Structure 1
């Protein structure tokens, strides 16, 4: 199954405009969360590695998975021989590896919703010496080959009582609005799930 997935992804990479020399498949979902729903476990789907942290990189000839020391043994057991384990802290970081190993002017595809702006900018700096570029895909290529992708889960919101949350929703909103006044701000944008869930 994993080999068929790689073949299908490489076909999409070749037909993509521009043609992609590599495809980044991070662990994170559209909220930049490390702990994602079954539907968003794209990196797990393509690699077979079930740990919560890691990043997959697929090229025309290679499939590499970066993860940290918590998961070295697990990844070595779960990855097929199609994959190479890249040990964070021991092997080159993904941006350095791409900059050094991909060809000049390589196009590296990524779903822009699944990486942070800071990460994209860091990678682009590493790519500049060989005129490589990060290419935003209009769709997530993994989703296009994931035939049995789990359905979207819709669950009710649960408001925890103050004994668990520390204070009520009304008290938290009042405190936040007072802080906005102190900072002379009109609004605050909250995007991280853990900020919403406090």
Structure 2
């Protein structure tokens, strides 16, 4: 883990602007909690394999936030370079960054892996010290993850009507009727469970759609 952190910090220092911290969430491009091996970036940098959590790497510190399901597991999996932050007991990640990072700190994120709602909430917390989120053009974890697994290619399987209850055509018809009632011209579906619902496909077959 020490070598991975050193490589990340080197990229952070050479970034324009230089980054005071790098956020590595669990989620993939679809905000999924359960992600493919290729998207387990937080697990790669921290060694923590639970499904939920967030890693934060600063110039001299590395912290992992997770919930009560994983406190014991995290203490067993994290190396000495990492400090466990217990959600519900320790300060939330945005509060910790706002209080502990310097004024005007640049905090790197992959914008595909952090929701707009989360980013806006963090920006409010950062306002008092004029800290800012910086969207990296590439995911810095991917640049140091030399053995990153390849994208999975799975055959598409459509569930039969006896399991879905409605055909794809009927689901789309019902959805269009709802859009019409709401006077909406369309809908953007990004989460994998919703996409699999309207395709009548198992959710795990859509993990590599980005």
User: So what's the TM-score if we normalise by structure 1?
Assistant: 0.97
SS in 2 for 1:112: coil
Equivalent residue, structure 2, for 1:176 = 175
The 5 Å alignment of 1:102-181 reads 102-181=101-180
Alignment partners' CA distance in 2, 1:113 and 1:75: 25
SS in 2 for 1:25: strand
Alignment partners' CA distance in 1, 2:176 and 2:147: 45
Give a deviation string over 1:55-85, Cα, whole Å, max 9, x none.
Answer: 0000011100000000000000000000000
Give a deviation string over 1:115-169, Cα, whole Å, max 9, x none.
Answer: 0000000000000000000000000000000000000112122211122222111
Equivalent residue, structure 2, for 1:192 = 191
Alignment partners' CA distance in 1, 2:184 and 2:57: 44
The 5 Å alignment of 1:17-32 reads 17-32=16-31
Matched, 1:91 2:90: yes
CA drift of 1:186 comes to 2.1
Alignment partners' CA distance in 1, 2:174 and 2:184: 14
SS in 1 for 2:57: strand
The count of aligned residue pairs is 197
Structure 1, unaligned runs of 5 or more: none
Equivalent residue, structure 1, for 2:69 = 70
Equivalent residue, structure 2, for 1:45 = 44
Give a deviation string over 1:29-68, Cα, whole Å, max 9, x none.
Answer: 0111111100000000000000000000000111000000
- Superposed CA RMSD in Å reads 0.8
SS in 1 for 2:112: helix
